[in-house]
A and B are shown apart, each in its own frame.
Chain A
C-alpha cells in the first residue's frame, strides 16, 4: 500500500528531517509511528501527502509513484488519504455538518451526494446528534472526532493522523483510538503518529520508532521503547 525507499529529507539550508528511511505498510494495517519531538514523524506524514517532497528516495502509494508528483495532481492524492493534522482544526464559523461537508464541496461533489455522505460519516464518529453545533460547543474529543469525520468523507484507503490525541485527556484519547480501530476494521489503513506511550502500548499493533530522522525499530506487536 505504502512504500518508502531510501527516503531522505533535508530542509533548507541543512536540517536533516529524515535519513534513509525504508518502509513498507500493507493494506489494512494499523501502524503507529512514535519517537521524540523532532524525530521526523511529522516530516514523514507530510511526505505521504506531498505537503513536502523528499530530497532523495522514492515514495509509492497504492501503486502511484508520488515522489515527484506535479502540483495539479496533489488534490487527487489528498482525496485518497484522509488527514488528521494537529494544526488543521475546524473552521470556527461553520457547524459540525458544514465543516464535514466543506471537504466534499471543495472536491466538486454534488449537493445530493453531500447530503448523503455527511450523515454517514457523522454516524461513524458518533456525532450525528450534534451536527448543528459549532466547534466551540463541543469537547476536545468531540472536535477531534469531527476532524476524523472530515478526513473520512472521500472514503480514503489510508487515514493519516498526526498526534490526534495530543491535547486530550486519557479518556478522550482512548475514545479516539477506539474510533481509529473501528475505522481500521472497515479495511482502512491507519498511520498513527504519536508520542503517547499509553496509547501505543495498549494497541498491540505494529510500532515504528523514529529517532534523529532514522527508523530505529519496527516491531509487529510493538511497545513504545524509548524514554518519553
Chain B
C-alpha cells in the first residue's frame, strides 16, 4: 500500500519538477532528440547501404550459352549436376525456342535483324542456363564447376558479370559509416549524459530547500532521489516520442525518392522500421533511459553525500 502511495507521490513530484523547469527541460529534450535522430539516421543509412549491396548481389549471375543443337539430355544433365551443388541457389534452363522468341521480342523494331534471322531458316540459338549462387563468394567455384567433362563440350560461352568492384565499394562505405556512426553516437551519448546531469543539478539547486527539509524530516534517500531520476526519465521519454515521430515521417516522405536511386527497388527503410520498431524503440528507450537515470542518480548522489 505505502509502496504505491510512494510511487504516486514520486511521479507527481517528478512531473512538477519537469514543468517548473520547462525551458531547461525542453532544451535538454532537444539535445536528446538530436542524439536519437543521429542514431536512427545512421541506422537508416546502414539499412539503405545493405539494401543496395543486396540489390547488386541479387543481380549477379552466370549465363551459360550452350551450342545450338545440344541434345536436351545433355542440357538436363548439366542443369541437374549444377543444381546438386550446395553452393548453387538456382539453375534455370532457357530452351532455344524461348531464347529465339526473346530475341525476336527484343529486336522487334529492327526489321533487318529479323530479316537476317529469317534467312538462316533455322533457330541459330542454343539453350541458356542462368546460374545463381547462394553466396557471392561462390561464383569462382561455380565457374570451375562448369568445366565438367560431362557437358563442357557443349558450352559455347559463359558470361559472368560480378559487379565485384561496386559491391566492394558499397561494403566499404557501409563499414566506414558504421565506424563513423559509432564515434558520433558515443559523442552524442556523452553529451546527453552531461546535459542531463547538468539539468538535474539545476533542478536540485532550485529545490535545495525542499530537499533539505525532506532530509531533515526523515525522507529516505531514495524518496529524495527518485523524483530527479524520474524527471530524467521523463525527459528521455519525451525525446524518444519526438525522435520517433520525426524518424517515421521522414521515412515515409523520403522513401519514394530513395527508391529511384535503387532502380525502383524498395529501399526497405519503412519495412525495416515497421518490422523492427518494437525492438528498436525498446533498445533505444532502454539505453537512453538507463543513461539518463544513471546521470540523474549521480547528480543527486553528489548532493546527498554533501
Q: Which residues of A are at the interface with B, using a C-beta cutoff of 8 A?
A: 49, 71-72, 74-79, 83, 85, 87-89, 91, 102-103, 105-111, 150-151, 153-154
Contacts and interface: CB of A to CB of B under 8 A. Distances in A.
Chief secondary structure at chain B's binding surface: helix
B223 interface: yes
Interface residues of B, number: 21
Interface of B: 1-3, 5-6, 9, 209-210, 212-221, 223-224, 304
Given A78-B216, A106-B219, 7 more contacts: A75-B218, A78-B217, A87-B212, A108-B5, A109-B2, A109-B5, A151-B217
B2 A83 contact: no
A136 to B, nearest CB: 15
A111 B5 contact: yes
Contact of B2 (A72, A102, A103, A110): A110
A107 B219 contact: yes
> Closest 3 interchain pairs by CB?
A106-B219, A78-B218, A103-B217
B217 A150 contact: yes
Nearest to A87: B212
Contacts of A150: 217
A79 B1 contact: no
7 contacts: A71-B221, A75-B219, A88-B209, A106-B218, A106-B224, A108-B223, A110-B2
Contacts of B212: 87-88
A106 B222 CA distance: 10
Given A102-B213, A106-B214, A75 B220 contact: yes
Contact of A91 (B6, B210, B215): B210
Nearest to A103: B217
Contacts of A71: 221, 304
